[in-house]
A and B are shown apart, each in its own frame.
Chain A
Amino acid sequence: MASSASGERKASASHSRSIRGTTPRLHDLASTPEAPRTPPLLRSTSSLYGSPGGSFRTEDEYVVLELGSRFVRGGFPGESTPRCTLSFGPEHQRRVGDYREWDPEYAQKRRKRRKGQDWGEDYELYRMDIANLDLDLVADKFDRVVREAYTKYFLLDPKPRRILLALPPRMPHPLISTLLAVLFDSCQAPSITLLSSPVLATVAAGLRSALVVDIGWAETVVTAVCEYREVHERRTIRAGKLLSQEMARLLNAHLEADVPPNAPKPDISFEEADEVLTRVGWCNTRPKSNRRTMYFPARTSPILEEFEDAPETPEPSVTIPFPRNTPPTNLSIAFKELAKPAEKALFATDTPLSDFDDHELPLHHVVYRALLALPIDVRRLCMSRIVITGGVSNLPGLKTRILAEVEALVQQRGWDPVRSYGSASARHEQTLRQQKEKVELRRDEGADKVSELLLSPGAEQTLPPAGLREPEVDAMDVKLANMALKHGPPPACNAGGEIRGVETLGVWAGASLVAQLRVRGIVEIDRERFLKDGLFGASMEKEVSVVPQRQSMGPGVVGRGGGDRASWTLGVWA
């Protein structure tokens, strides 16, 4: 590293030595970038005797990386958007000096998928199933991308920086180990903090608890986060990959209609399907299934009704150019058609629920089941904080659709885990109907504030049951409520019990916020320790308190400094 860095290191080393008044230990002289220096002041305290002072100058700097299976985002803390979003196309995997992608003739050619290759496999960094994954190849790909990010976009001075890495929870250990090794090797990072992406998405939404629906590439992960902690998780394979495959199928079918019968069938490449999907793909905002039983909350309905029902005289269509097709063509396709892949891949409305395996449930069912599996008070918090994120969630209309579908499911089923009561189903339905009526009644009451039962002259004696009466106003309660309003959180923080979606700024922005606020992560991996033991150096216990225990002010404490932890853990990833 540059002379400036080493100079600083030397200076700080001698400085700290003089403070301690002890002889230098071997540890101090080690040629590691993690040299002893004044540990960072994590939060400024109101200090009586001076400004927070020198500790800010030596504060550690971070680089924030978010890792997905198709994209890597990187940037600096405190910035709202990443500096770069890098993808893994086959163009990025060529040899150095291979410039064929710039050859205009080559760019016009459609590439065939290699034999035995999965849809879009060339565009992935990793997959969770590592049985057939060449981890060395993953390391190579990741290394190249990280180097590009550092040299082309970060433009850093040679000072080593810590890395805050946002990872999906539950990654296979060999994969984590491979990725970490690359980061430690090619970025020379002194330490890496791992944070799980659902928690970061929650942070970026401004919440403490949320149901995070991450619609990614290979799978959709629904994670219930309560007080910044993952409490439940469900997965389904209905996500980006199926969606783009479905889109390719649709486009192929439409292209085939124009092709003469004995010509070779069109086979759309991944890029073309992906481009169509991200440019003009959309999703119907209104549930198709069970429209009868649907109940629309007042706030959503008016636009939607018009939108769906008005029959359009000239069917709007979209013209999509396919320069790589042979012969190059412009495909005109009805706008309505472009919503079908999402319908089929994500919601699978045509298939009865009993035909699905556990790993391929439609999105709304996964969300519903995740909510159902939660304890009731956590469910109350989570159901009104549904955060939909991930690459596919940018599909226009998708978020609205998922929320509406979940709401419909809740309306239909309530929170009853039993789906079939067998011979008792008739009775169950009856009770259900009664419940529903009651709810409707209460809703009506809420609307006009006047209970008809009370007003109607015939029912002067029969008071309504206690549950339906207007609660009596207790003066003490009011006072307490006012107190709470004055000192406690605003009432909007206690929202719960209804299906509500909250927008998030994304996982990367959450990581950037966390790094900016200098919040310490649970999983912090030291370079030296990782190089020595790998992931097996992690202690087995999952929970390590970030808040250190109260310690006596002995010399040991002074010598150790706050930067060290005796053991480290893998937290959620363990």
Chain B
Amino acid sequence: MAYTFPYTYYSCSCHETRISPGASKRSSHPPPAEDEEDEQTFDPKNPRSNYSLYPLEHLLYCEDCRQIRCPRCVIEETLNWFCPSCLFEVPSSVVKSDGNRCTRNCYNCPVCSAPMPVASLEDPANPSPNGGPFILSCPYCHWSTAEIGIEFDKPTGITSQLARIANGGNPMPTQKDKDKERDRRKESESRKLQDLLLSGTSSSSAADSSAASTSFDDIYASTSGPTHDDLFSNLSAFYKSQLALQTPSNPFSPHMDLNFASPSSFSRIMNLYSSTVSKKQKRDKPVPMREAASALEGLRIHSPSTDVDTIERLRKEGWNASVSPAQRLAQPNPNVRLASELRPVATLLCTKRGKRCATCRHILSKPEAKITSTRYKIKLLALNHVPRISVRWLSPTPAAASTTTINSTSSSFGSGMPNPASVGAPSAAAGTFDYENIKPGIPTHFILHVSNPLFDPIRVTLATPSITPGKLQSRVTLLCPQFEVGANTDVWDDALGGGGRKGSVSVGAGGGDGQIEAGKVWDRGRNWTSVVMEIVPGLGVTGSGAGDDDDNDNDDEELDEDDAVLEIPIFVRIEYETEVGAEEGRIGMGPGERGGKGGEAQQVQREKREEAFWTVVGVGRVLLF
């Protein structure tokens, strides 16, 4: 559907050879036996098929496994990182430390995700020395950082500037400052507690200290509460300090690996010999880690007022102030609710990745390292190894354009035509065919075109289920399921008058001279053959599937958007003979071996190979009444 009709998808068989742990074998629902599964026809309407079908252009081919490799059965490895917006390469160390986003000036609009250039807000009346202030503004939806009150002094280094400005234009302390601040506050808190204890006001100490902690909460509350990040760093620092308290001082620390190389274990061994001391320092019972007690340690008590505030703002500002799910998911902070909290989103980095076969780990594709280059060093495409199959409508008569006029005048000619497809063909323009509106129930002919990218002639066997799976049950007949396709020889052979053609194409299946006849190919060329396929598009659920539907009160309504698409699964099997010496010999044999019998081996050894896979041909959309 994505591609305009007609299209062809190829199925990768990798999902059958997935890792299957022992558990699945013993689970209560035993999977169907293996041999049974092989016999099943491929069902393009099954939701699973969406994950195994690919257009031919998306597939790679592993020459060692001799199999199609889809994006799922390759292992990807990143070669380099770059920003798609400024095309700067980012070294891997920076990716590790600074994250997966561009740290320069590249930002995307939080509303519509378009890239946002820096714009100047300079007042032409009194120009500033550097042309500022600057904003990021979206050329598509006209959102700009001015809406959240952020302006920049410089047009460059936006990321570092943005990190220091909160929404509304207030300066935002950096993480380091926050950490320092937290330590300072904690110290003062503990000092206060000490004072309290020393002064010895006995009974009310607990109440006072709790009051002290709440006053700290108030400090956070005054700056609109600790943010998600604040709390996280507070919690993290708290846990770290608690774990540090717990660190056992005894040499037999349970988590230690006894590795003589590490200095710590060395110290432990040394401790062994001075054991008298360590025995006395018998570990005292470790104090259990306590829980966080204040906002400085990451605890936040739920307060109803924040909830009420949010509701109040929603009530006042309504729909437009809220953020759509897609916008929220794009934000780095997942708790954004209101449009005033949106921040520009730094552009995600892209990678150049090499791909390896998951089974044999051979490289399947490797792009050039240079970022601006789109070329590949290695590229093993399925296009070059697998015959391309395509379908198109067969105009009812060889000279369709000329017959239309006759067709309209004399009906006797129309009845004498070899097939009734002319009724189904649109009469207004007989030369074209509306793939989006195929008439159901009327036999229509299509040409199945198979072209061969290999340098050897192939023998093709096609198979289809006679009735397509799914709700739309169409009848399919391949008039010639077995035929040969010539080798992909030099183009000039074809042009220079059939010299090579005689050798490559045998005349087994009949001439193929444009006759719709069982067992005969329709047409053939240098490296392609086309056969005729007759399809009787089904009438949909109401016509054919009435038997298996129990509740037929609203059957006709329930056809999904994709149910009316006429898709035909075709099983393709190709056989060919190829010279092994050409490629295999060089790789497989050692150099000495090759020297010994290289000469004749390369000429004599021919190997029979076969490949088989499912394809799905999307013919068109059936017009259901």
Contact = CB atoms under 8 A, between A and B. Distances in A.
A285 B213 contact: no
A447 B60 CA distance: 78
A480 to B, nearest CB: 11
B292 A206 contact: yes
A275 B262 contact: no
Interface in B19-51: 19-29, 47-51
A400 B304 contact: yes
Nearest to A111: B561
Interface residues of A, number: 140
Interface in B350-400: 351, 353
Interface in A473-515: 473, 478, 481-482, 485-486, 489-493, 500-503, 505-506, 509, 512-513
A137 B308 contact: no
A161 to B, nearest CB: 12
A481 B561 contact: no
Interface in A52-102: 52-55, 78, 80-83, 85, 87, 93-100
Interface string A191-215: 0000000000000111111000000
Contacts of B15: 136, 140
17 contacts: A48-B267, A93-B47, A94-B50, A97-B2, A97-B3, A140-B48, A155-B100, A185-B18, A279-B323, A285-B307, A335-B314, A396-B314, A397-B310, A400-B304, A534-B24, A550-B254, A557-B258
Interface string A110-144: 01101100000000000000000011110111011
Given A303-B304, A400-B308, A535-B23, 17 more contacts: A43-B243, A48-B270, A53-B264, A82-B334, A87-B329, A111-B561, A157-B92, A185-B19, A205-B300, A285-B304, A318-B319, A493-B290, A506-B334, A512-B232, A530-B21, A533-B23, A548-B254
Contacts, number: 347
A517 B240 contact: yes
B81 interface: yes
A206 to B, nearest CB: 3
A2 interface: yes
B308 A307 contact: yes
B159 interface: no
A49 B267 contact: yes
Interface string B558-598: 10110000000000000000000000000000000000000
Contacts of B257: 38-39, 41, 561-563
Given A96-B55, A100-B2, A505-B232, A158 B77 contact: yes
Contacts of B255: 42-43, 520, 547, 562
A153 B347 CA distance: 11
A311 B92 CA distance: 61
B314 A280 contact: yes
Given A97-B55, A399-B307, A534-B22, A492 B294 contact: yes
Contacts of A557: 258
Interface in A164-223: 173-174, 177-178, 180-181, 184-186, 188, 204-209
Most buried by A among B51, B53, B298, B325: B51
4 nearest interchain CB pairs? A206-B292, A534-B23, A501-B302, A50-B263
Contacts of A158: 77-78
A274 interface: yes
A304 interface: yes
A351 interface: no
B231 A505 contact: yes
A313 interface: no
A306 B464 CA distance: 72
A94 B22 CA distance: 30
B454 to A, nearest CB: 24
A516 B29 CA distance: 39
Given A174-B24, A285-B307, A490-B209, A155 B78 contact: yes
Contacts of B509: none
Contacts of B288: 208
Contacts of A141: 51
Nearest to A320: B319
A303 B305 contact: yes
Given A140-B48, A204-B235, A493 B22 contact: no
Interface residues of B, number: 120
A513 B264 contact: no
Given A279-B319, A318-B318, A503-B300, A80 B228 contact: yes
Contacts of A80: 228-229, 232-233
A29 interface: no
A443 interface: no
B202 interface: yes
Contact of A155 (B95, B248, B290, B335): B95
Contacts of A404: 304
A130 B252 CA distance: 47
B478 to A, nearest CB: 24
A100 B561 CA distance: 12
Interface in A528-574: 530-537, 547-548, 550, 553, 557-558, 561-563
A47 interface: yes
Q: Which of B305, B312, B328 has the most CB of A within 10 A?
A: B305
B58 A491 contact: no
A466 interface: no
Contacts of B231: 505
A251 to B, nearest CB: 13
B314 A513 contact: no
B247 A513 contact: no
B621 to A, nearest CB: 13
Contacts of B72: 143-144, 147, 186
A81 B3 CA distance: 38
Contact of B311 (A41, A396, A473, A506): A396
A461 interface: no
B150 to A, nearest CB: 20
A547 B254 contact: yes
Contacts of A550: 252, 254
A282 B290 CA distance: 35
Contact of B302 (A303, A321, A492, A503): A503
Contact of A206 (B298, B307, B314, B337): B298
B48 A300 contact: no
Given A47-B264, A285-B307, A486-B197, A492 B293 contact: yes
A309 to B, nearest CB: 14
A249 B69 CA distance: 46
Contact of A493 (B200, B228, B291, B329): B291
Interface in A356-373: none
B253 interface: yes
Contacts of B47: 93, 134, 137
A463 interface: no
B22 A536 contact: yes
A156 interface: yes
Interface in B253-283: 253-264, 266-267, 270
Nearest to B326: A275
Contact of A2 (B77, B305, B558): B77
B262 A94 contact: no
A536 B307 CA distance: 47
A27 interface: no
A184 B314 contact: no
Contact of B58 (A85, A96, A397): A96
A316 interface: yes
Contacts of A430: none
B261 A38 contact: yes
Given A43-B247, A501-B302, A513-B239, A485 B193 contact: yes
B260 A19 contact: yes
Contacts of A278: 325, 328
B406 interface: no
A228 B470 CA distance: 51
Contact of B228 (A47, A81, A481, A502): A81
A503 B334 contact: no
Contacts of A23: none
